């Protein structure tokens, strides 16, 4: 933890807070056989309100903005496991997708905080980095649930969904390897001017791909759709 900047520590702590606030509630629901959609929605809403309140007590201002994002991502990560376990057969794979999405956005912030602590910001979560990304995400969710309703059988090909998960993991590993290799030379945004300390990276994964972070994100993106069988 000593190696982490303050932003990284806050993000890691609150991500785990969100995860461990939701996890026992989910196990409780499973133990009590709580299958009602209304009851689950009320439980999740209450837990979310409590989580936001606790994060608000712990942090203020900019730190709160980091903490609340990481905490909610941790909650979504935990909810993904819950959906995978208790959801109807044609919806289960969406739980895996939730875990993949939550971890990706959290890990993007964490890795930028590790390699570029002076440039880290709430934008480093890349949750809302462009209108096109938001539109694509929402469209994919609508597509998934429409297909769940009209073609439930196609969402139960679990081996194919597992292939998608593997693609996501490999894409994620490649992207994060590129970030760790480039370190201070890595930026989320395209740089229009060369900084004094910038160097061309040609070793590691950069010896295999000219833009390994883009390649990794491309395969991760494809993997999310295979995971959802969309």
pTM of the full predicted structure? 0.92
Contact assessment for residue 161 and residue 96, using Cβ atoms and an 8 Å cutoff: yes
Contact assessment for residue 185 and residue 119, using Cβ atoms and an 8 Å cutoff: no
User: How high is the pLDDT of residue 195?
Assistant: 67
Alpha carbon separation from 143 to 53, 83, 129, 148, 220 (Å, rounded): 34, 18, 22, 8, 19
What's the rounded Cα separation, in Å, for the pair 127 and 53? 22
Residues in the chain, pLDDT under 50: none
User: How high is the pLDDT of residue 36?
Assistant: 82
Buried b (16+ CB within 10 A) or exposed e, 81-116: bbbbebeeebbbbbbbbbbbbbbbbbbbbbbbbbbb
Residue pLDDT, tens place only, 60-70:
999 999 999 99
User: How high is the pLDDT of residue 124?
Assistant: 93
User: How high is the pLDDT of residue 152?
Assistant: 92
What's the rounded Cα separation, in Å, for the pair 185 and 191? 10
Among 80, 46, 52, which Cα is nearest to 68's?
52
Residue pLDDT, tens place only, 173-207:
999 999 998 877 776 666 656 666 667 777 878 88
Report H helices in 87-122. Answer: 92-115
CA atoms within 13 A on the CB side of 89: 7
Torsion of CA 26, 140, 107, 113, to 10 degrees: -130
Report the Cα 157 to chain-centroid distance in Å: 23
User: How high is the pLDDT of residue 188?
Assistant: 63
């Amino acid at each position: 933890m000593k190696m982490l900047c303050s932003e990284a520590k806050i993000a890691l702590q609150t991500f785990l807070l969100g995860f461990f606030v939701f996890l026992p509630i989910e196990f409780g629901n499973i133990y009590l056989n709580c299958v009602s959609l209304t009851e689950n929605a009320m439980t999740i809403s209450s837990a979310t309100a409590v989580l936001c309140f606790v994060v608000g007590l712990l942090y203020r201002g900019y730190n709160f903005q980091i903490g609340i994002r990481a905490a909610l991502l941790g909650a979504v990560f935990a909810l993904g496991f819950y959906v995978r376990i208790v959801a109807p057969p044609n919806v289960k794979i969406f739980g895996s997708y939730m875990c993949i999405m939550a971890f990706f956005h959290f890990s993007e912030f964490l890795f930028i905080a590790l390699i570029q602590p002076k440039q880290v910001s709430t934008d480093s979560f890349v949750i809302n980095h462009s209108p096109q990304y938001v539109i694509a995400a929402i469209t994919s969710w609508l597509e998934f649930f429409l297909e769940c309703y009209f073609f439930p059988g196609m969402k139960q090909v679990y081996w194919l969904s597992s292939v998608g998960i593997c693609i996501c993991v490999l894409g994620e590993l490649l992207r994060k390897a590129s970030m760790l290799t480039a370190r201070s030379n890595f930026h989320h945004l395209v740089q229009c001017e060369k900084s004094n300390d910038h160097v061309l990276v040609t070793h590691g994964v950069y010896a295999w791909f000219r833009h390994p972070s883009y390649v990794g994100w491309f395969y991760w993106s494809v993997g999310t759709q295979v995971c959802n069988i969309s």
